[in-house]
Structure 1
Amino acid sequence: MPRRTATMLASTLILIALLCAGVLIKVPYSEMSPGPTVNTLGKVGGEPVLQISGHKTYPTSGNLNMTTVRVTGADYDMNLVESVYGWLAHDSVVVPHDTLYPDGKTEQQSTQENAEEFSQSQESAKVAALTELGIPVASRVVVSTVVKDSPAQGKLHAGDVIKQVDGAPVKQPEDVAKLVTRHDPGEKVTFTVIPARTAQAAEKAGKEPEGSREIVITTVKAPKENRAIVGIQAGTDHTFPFRIDIKLADVGGPSAGLMFSLGIIDKLTPGNLTGGKFIAGTGTIDDKGKVGPIGGINMKLVGARDAGARYFLTPDENCKAAASDTPSGLTLVKVKTISDAKKSLEKIRVGDTAGLPSCSAG
């Protein structure tokens, strides 16, 4: 066999062996890539994403797209070839597996957590939107979760309205922990609550819940801390003056909050926020309208650009990363609050884009 032919054959066999090894060798990484975008003003599966009843709504136009990131599952074993390809590809990112699934979190646990965050983001989006429009939203402190095998189990239940602790009024969720920790472990604390069923029945009837009862619970010492606890997490529940439903399945996490709130505002106000333009964005939202950072910003920019967006509403804390690698044809607009976003949309609508708050890579 000629030397040249033998060399080429040996090189080919070595290359095949390396590729086979690359496929068989598993690496502790996961991949993030652009996910689908959804127009919050539009429809999915024939149903409007935002459905409002009991209040006048107005026609909308253009796009206010929420953006997503697609990630490999917790149980997916990435091989060496896939990781190298992901590192070289511009429209995907390879990250350590623990970044997406810390502390050995399973895919089921991650899905459940994302679903809970998505539900909470919808609630906050509604509150922020109505507050921005000056529409009152009633709120109350409730038992959010009860820890298994804790002193509160069987005495307090998720959804119970917490009116007082030891006779002191409770106005914010953090008030509960402050009042409980005034005690030493082993002491008794008295909760004045309205049972969840009573509160839910009153809400359906459009009335303020009544019929409180006192529940006495003996505190215990917190794990690894010398403070008293009863084993609950307090949260906030809201009563809306009319019905707002967000119909969107197979999406998780809190990052769509900003775009949901803007979509709600657009539907509840005359005219339209977009001027018919294609705007996408991301960002968490709290009840007070503050926009928070999210993960996977660069993947969301690519997804938005590929969907046709011209402007991207970017949380202030994500601006630096977003500006360092912005897809061509996409203008970043920095936002800190829902009011910021609304003002920027007004400028985009009338074409006054020179004064838009921009993101800087510096």
Structure 2
Amino acid sequence: MPRRTLTLLTSTLVLIALLCGGVFLTVPYGEMSPGPTVNTLGKSGGKPVLQISGHKTYPTSGNLNMVTVRVTTADYNMNLVEAVYGWLAHDTLVVPHNTLYPQGTTEQESTQQNAEEFSESQESAKVAALTELGIPVKSRIVVSTVVKDSPAEGKLHAGDLIRAVDGTPVKEPTDVAKLVTKHKPGQDVVFTVVPAKAAADAAKAGTESKGSKKVTMTTAKAPAPDTGRAIVGITAGTDHTFPFDINIKLADVGGPSAGLMFSLGLVDKLTPGSLTGGRFIAGTGTIDDQGQVGPIGGIEMKLIAARNAGARYFLTPADNCSAAAADTPSGLTLVKVKTMDGAKKALDEIRTGDTASLPSCSAK
């Protein structure tokens, strides 16, 4: 056999062996890829994404799309060949498995956390939108969760309205922790609360919650590393009462990153005219009750999803701007946003065609 033929055959066999070995050799990585994108002004599953009743709404046009990212499952075992292909591909992102699922997190736990974050983002989107429009929203401090085997278990319940701690009225969720930690572990603390059912009934009826009671608990030590801090084992949160019904219907989506686009969609539906002027705009970003826009994960894949869907402009959280600008799909203009009000002003400029002063993203 000629030496050249032998060399070629040997190289081919070695390559086949390496590929076979790569298929069976697993690596601790997962994959992110562009996910579905949905127009918040339109429908999903045949039903409007944003459903408003009890208040006048107006026709909308164009697109205000939220975007998503697909990720591999918690039990997915990526092999070396898949990892190399993913690193070379433009429309996928290979990341350490622990980035997607922190050590010990199961698929069920991750799904539950994403669902909770999605629900919280919807509430904040509603508050931010109505606040932007000058529509009052009533807020109250409630027990969000109760830790098992904690001093609060059996004494406080999720949904209980917290009026005061040791007689001091609470106005923010952080007030609760501050007042509890004034104690030393082992000392008593007194909560003034309205039971969850009575609080919910009053909110539904639009009346003031009555029937408050005092609940005394003995504080415990916080787990390591904060063992010197007093706790009762609850998480306090904010519950809102809206002046009319707003429902956000979108299945199989989790996480907080659609908050900005939900809030903009609500503003568009609740005001005359069109925010988009018929243009295709997509975006992402968390939003809080004060309308502050926060960063999200998977920005590179979300840009691809938006451009593939037809978006021309992409509302980008300021803290994601550098990564987004480093690899922006052709034909997509990034618009840097920090607040709900800033995003709305950017939409005004896009709608009128006066885009010279749009805040842009730059790669550092």
Identify whether the pair has TM-score above 0.5, normalized to the shorter chain. Answer: yes
Between the aligned partners of 2:12 and 2:162, the Cα distance in structure 1 is 72
Alignment of 1:325-336 (within 5 A): 325-336=327-338
**Equivalent AA in structure 2 for residue 151 of structure 1:** P
Partner of 2:161: 161
Summarize deviations over 1:223-258 as a string: whole Å, max 9, x none.
Answer: 132121111110000000001100001111100000
Query: How much has 1:2 moved relative to structure 2?
Result: 4.2
| 1:190 Cα offset (Å) | 0.7
List runs of 5+ in structure 2 lacking aligned partners.
Answer: none
Aligned length: 362
Q: Distance in 1 between matches of 2:60 and 2:112?
A: 33
The separation in 1 between residues aligned to 2:262 and 2:137, in whole angstroms, is 17
In structure 2, the residue matched to 1:261 is 263
| 1:273-295 alpha-carbon deviations (Å, 9 max, x no partner) | 00000000000000000000011
**Among 254, 271, 274, which residue is 1:272 paired with?**
274
1:231 to 226, 230, 233: 233
User: In 1, distance between residues paired with 2:175 and 2:103?
Assistant: 30
Q: How does 1:170-209 map to 2 (within 5 A)?
A: 170-209=170-209
Correspondence 1:315-334 to 2 at 5 A:
315-334=317-336
Specify the alignment match of 2:10 in structure 1: 10
For residues 333 and 92 of structure 1, the distance between their equivalents in structure 2, rounded to whole angstroms, comes to 23
The alignment partner of 2:356 has SS state of helix
Question: Post-superposition shift, 1:76?
Answer: 0.2
**Within 5 Å, which residues of 2 pair with 1:91-106?**
91-106=91-106
Cα deviation, residue 183, structure 1: 1.2
Q: Distance in 1 between matches of 2:45 and 2:297?
A: 27
In structure 1, the residue matched to 2:151 is 151
2:19 is aligned to 19
Alpha-carbon distance in structure 2 between the residues aligned to 1:282 and 1:268: 21
Q: TM-score, normalised by structure 1?
A: 0.98
SS in 2 for 1:55: coil
* Structure-2 separation of matches of 1:187 and 1:44: 52
Query: Distance between the aligned counterparts of 1:131 and 1:107, measured in 2?
Result: 36
Residue type at the aligned position of 1:14: V
Match of 2:246 among 216, 240, 244: 244
Q: 2:359 is aligned with what amino acid?
A: P
Q: Report the counterpart of residue 220 of structure 1 in structure 2.
A: 220
Structure 1 residue runs of 5 or longer lacking an equivalent are none
Structure 1 counterpart of 2:41, one-letter code = L
Amino acid at match of 2:47: E
| Counterpart selection for 1:340 from 332, 337, 342 | 342
Q: TM-score, normalised by structure 2?
A: 0.98
Matching residue of 2:362 = 360
Q: For residues 34-183 of structure 1, what are the structure 2 equivalents within 5 Å?
A: 34-183=34-183
- Give the drift of 1:322: 0.7
Shift of residue 10, structure 1, vs aligned partner: 2.6
Report sequence identity in percent.
78
